[in-house]
Amino acid sequence: NNKVLHAELVPEIKQEPDYNAALAALK
């Protein structure tokens, strides 16, 4: 599942990850 994969790549931080970059990486 892509959300789980992305969660592994992004450490638990207080700011939101760059979702646009994440979506671009999946394409």
* pTM for this entry: 0.28
pLDDT of residue 8: 65
- Predicted pLDDT at 26: 73
CA distance 27 to 12: 24
pLDDT of residue 14: 56
Q: Give Cβ neighbours of residue 17 (< 8 Å, ≥ 6 apart).
A: 6, 10
- Specify whether the CB–CB gap between 26 and 2 falls below 8 A: yes
| pLDDT at 24 (0 to 100) | 78
Distance CA 27, CA 13 (A): 25
Per-residue pLDDT of the chain (27 residues; tens, 9 = 90+): 566 666 666 666 555 656 777 777 777
* Confidence at residue 21, expressed as pLDDT on a 0 to 100 scale: 72
pLDDT at 27: 76
Query: Is there a contact between 17 and 26 (Cβ–Cβ < 8 Å)?
Result: no
For the chain, the domains span 1-27
